[in-house]
Amino acid sequence: MLDIKIIRENPEIVKENIRKKFQFEKEALVDQVLALDAESRANKNRADMLRAERNKVSSEIGMLMRQGKREEAEAKKQIVGEKAAELAACEAKEGELAEKIRKIMLVIPNIIDPSVPVGKNDTENVEVERFGEPAVPDFEIPYHTEIMERFNGIDLDSARRVAGNGFYYLMGDIARLHSAVISYARDFMIDRGFTYCVPPFMIRSDVVTGVMSFAEMEAMMYKIEGEDLYLIGTSEHSMIGKFIDQILPEESLPQTLTSYSPCFRKEKGAHGIEERGVYRIHQFEKQEMIVVCKPEDSKMWFDKLWQNTVDLFRSMDIPVRTLECCSGDLADLKVKSVDVEAWSPRQKKYFEVGSCSNLGDAQARRLKIRIKGENGKYLPHTLNNTVVAPPRMLIAFLENNLNADGSVNVPAALRPYMGGKEKLVPVN
C-alpha cells in the first residue's frame, strides 16, 4: 500500500506506474482517493475546530457558574450540546472516509523499481543470467510421474480417491528424496546465517490483507469455514505476519528467517500437459526465506536472496537461470521480482522453481510494522524468496540426474540426508 502523501504530491507518477502495469482501469482510483482525501482533511479540520470551540465554551461555563451566572451558563451549555452533535457527525464521517480511502489504497499498485522492464505479462519477462550448462542426454527422458513410478514413488490414483485432483502420495525413495531436499535446504540457509522457523499454517484475515492483494487472495487462499482463518499459500505470509503491529528496535535489523511449511493453493484454471503430475498442485511443502531490513539495504538483500536459490540448485547439479519479471507480471505489492528457473532436459527449456521479491515498505505499512531508530520511527522493507519447493523441484532434480538405465544420481550434498546413497535404483 502506498503512502497517501505520494498520491497527494505525485498523482501523475502513480498513474504512470499504473499504466506501466497495464491496469488502466485503476487510473480513476487515483482521482477518487484525492477527492476523498480532500474531503477527509476538510472534515477533520472542522472536527478540530469544533473541539476547540467546545473546550473554550466549557471553560466559560465553569467561570460563569463560579460567578453565579447560572442563566448565562445554561445558555452556553445549549451551545455546547449543539456543537457536540455536529462533532459526533464529523467523527462518524471521519471513520467512514478513512475506510473508503483504505479500501481504494489497497488496490492501487506499489511503485515499481525503475529497473523493471515494461511488459504486459510473463511472456515478456527478461532473462538475466544462466548458471550451469543446460544439457540434453542422448536417451529419452520420460515424464516426471513415469520416472517416479519406476521407483514405486508416487500414487496419484489413490490420492484422487482420497482428496481429488491436485493431490498425491509420495512413497519410498521418492518420498525420502522429497524430505531430504527440504532438510538440506533448511541446513543450507542456517549455514548462511538465517534463523530457522516453523510458523503457523493458518493466519487471520488482517494478516492476509497485509501481505498480499485481494486478487491474489481470491485466486490462492483456502478459507476455514466459520472462522477468521485462512490456510497459508506460502510461509512468507505468516512469517511477515509475525511482526504485525510491532515496533522493532533498529539494532534488531536485519531480521533474516528461513521457514518450513506446507502450502495450500486453489490453483484455479485449466492446465496443460506440462502442468500435470506434481507440477501444479493444491498442497506442497516449501522452504522459504524472508528478510525485514532497513530501506537502504533492501537492494543488497534482494540480490543475496535470489543468489541463495541459485547456489542451492547448482549444488545439486541442476542448471538454472534468473528471469527479471516485467511490470505486467508483478503482483501489486511488489517493487521488483526475479524468478529462478530450472533446466528441464525433457522439455528442452527452463521452468519456474522459485521467485524472489522485494516489496518495499508496502507490507510494513499494511501490517503497521515500524522501526525505532535514532531519528524516530520508520517503515522497514520486506523481502521473500523460495529456497526450494518440492515436489516441483523434484521434476528438475530427477530429469537432470537421470541415467540411461533409469537410475538417478544423488549429488554429494544430498547423500547425508539419503543414508549415504549415491544412486537410486528403480524397482520397475
Beta pairing class for 202-203 and 195-197: unpaired
Q: Which residues contact 313 (CB under 8 A, 6 or more apart)?
A: 131, 320, 340, 342, 353, 388, 396
The half-sphere exposure of 134 on its side-chain side, counting CA atoms within 13 A, is 16
Considering the candidates 236, 355, 365, 370, report the single residue annotated as catalytic.
355
Asked if the peptide bond before residue 109 counts as cis, ω within 30 degrees of 0, the response is no
Distance CA(324)–CA(152), nearest Å, equals: 38
| Catalytic entry in 54, 298, 392, 399 | 392
State yes or no: is 58 an active-site residue: no
Q: Tell me which of 276, 285, 352, 407 is the catalytic residue.
A: 352
Among candidate residues 280, 314, 407, 415, the one labeled active-site is 280
For the question of residue 352 being annotated catalytic, the response is yes
What is the Cα–Cα distance from 184 to 262, expressed in whole angstroms? Answer: 16
Beta bridge partners of 376: 373
**Catalytic-role residue among 265, 321, 346, 370:** 265
The answer to whether 102 is a known catalytic residue is: no
Quick check: helix, strand or coil at residue 200?
A: coil
Q: Choose among 305, 323, 343, 333: nearest CA to 133.
A: 343
Q: Is there a catalytic annotation at residue 392?
A: yes
Please indicate whether residue 19 is annotated as part of the active site.
Answer: no
Question: What are the residues whose beta carbons fall under 8 Å from the beta carbon of 128, sequence distance 6 or more?
Answer: 321, 322, 323, 324, 338
Residue 11 burial (CB count, 10 A) = 15
Element (H, E) at 291: strand 283-293
State the catalytic residues: 265, 280, 352, 355, 392
